[in-house]
Amino acid sequence: MTIPSIDILHKVVAVAKEAGSFIRKESESFDRDAVEHKGFNDLVSYVDKTAEKIIVEGLKGVLPGAGFIAEEGTGEQNPEGPNWIIDPLDGTTNFVHGIPAFAVSIALYDAGELTLGVVYEVIGDECFSALKGSGAWLNDKPIRVSQAARLESGLIATGFPYAKFDHMPQYLDVLTEFMRSTHGVRRIGSAAIDLAYTACGRFEGFFEYGLKPWDVAAGILLVKEAGGELSDFTGGDQYLFGGQIVAANALHNDILSVIRKQWPEDETRMKS
């Protein structure tokens, strides 16, 4: 595994912003009739697909030979070398409905490790970035997770199930507990933004199930490099490819304990 340079990180940021500029322009006149359905409540449009092509073409020049794990299937995965993990438009449903909360997410995965991550929140023009072992930044300023040490003073983010509802009763029990024991629960509609906001201290923690690696890859590194903690719902480390994630500041164990209390062990270990 080779850690990318700061120069490479800056080039990836430029690619993310190029895709973001295209998305921002299209958001001004987007027609809902252009939406396609990949599955129940799983939306995609020419904006997602074109943004992904912009990103893939840009990244080919940044790190020649790297493969791609991309939501819309652009590019080929490299089974032996580094791979870019890409979500060209995280928060597509928000985009389609004109809600200004969506992001470009790009991560580099090499030898079982995330080494670079960029989340570009398009409308707010906020670019979160991280480099393994070097820290995390928001628009080039260093960021850290929240210093809040009590659950009752924390703000928790999550994502509502939108396609698979098998775990809905447990999920609602968890929500009920957090609503009673924290400052509140927020649902933005973009896991990449939720993780970025956790990394910079706006949220004390984030949890969700039913996720894909491109939803969380860049955000995971942001949280790690900002001093946060991560796990799956069992407390294990299968949060990139396992479909479940708990990301937080020092309240991680408190947040995880609420989830495990309401979510039986056999259900916790099920892939979402």
- Is the distance from CB of 249 to CB of 264 less than 8 angstroms? no
Which pLDDT belongs to residue 156? 98
pLDDT (tens digit, 9 = 90+) per residue, 211-254?
A: 999 999 999 999 999 999 999 999 999 999 999 999 999 999 99
Tokens (6 digits) for 176 = 């009920």
Which pLDDT belongs to residue 70? 92
Tokens (6 digits) for 261 = 């209390």
Which pLDDT belongs to residue 41? 41
Rounded-to-integer distance, Cα 114 and Cα 224, Å: 10
Q: What percent of the chain shows pLDDT beyond 70?
A: 92
| Dihedrals phi, psi of 11, to nearest 5 degrees | -70, -40
Which pLDDT belongs to residue 39? 52
Which pLDDT belongs to residue 163? 64
- Is the distance from CB of 253 to CB of 204 less than 8 angstroms? no
The alpha carbon dihedral of 52, 94, 200, 260 has a sign of: negative
Q: What is the mean pLDDT of residues 50-78?
A: 93
Q: What is the mean pLDDT of residues 137-153?
A: 96
Is the confidence at residue 160, as pLDDT, over 90? Answer: no
CATH topology of domain 6-142: Fructose-1,6-Bisphosphatase; Chain A, domain 1 (3.30.540)
Is the confidence at residue 258, as pLDDT, over 90? Answer: yes
Q: Where are the beta strands (DSSP E) in 11-125?
A: 36-39, 42-44, 67-70, 83-90, 103-110, 113-121
CATH topology of domain 151-268: D-Maltodextrin-Binding Protein; domain 2 (3.40.190)
pLDDT (tens digit, 9 = 90+) per residue, 109-136?
A: 999 999 999 999 999 999 999 999 999 9
User: Average pLDDT of the chain?
Assistant: 91
Of 178, 179, 165, 171, the residue nearest 268 (C-alpha) = 171
Task: Using the CB atoms, write b or e for 236-259: b if 16+ within 10 Å.
Answer: eeebbebbbbbbbbbbbebbbebb
Domain extent listing, the chain: 6-142, 151-268
225, with CB counted inside 10 A (0-12, 13-18, 19+), is buried
Of 110, 196, 84, the residue nearest 75 (C-alpha) = 84
Q: What is the mean pLDDT of residues 133-146?
A: 97
pLDDT (tens digit, 9 = 90+) per residue, 164-201?
A: 667 788 889 999 999 999 999 999 999 999 999 999 99
Which pLDDT belongs to residue 44? 64
Rounded-to-integer distance, Cα 89 and Cα 30, Å: 14
| 144 Cβ contact partners less than 8 Å away, ≥ 6 residues apart | 200, 201, 226, 227
Alpha helices in 153-272 (DSSP H): 168-181, 191-199, 213-225, 252-262, 265-268
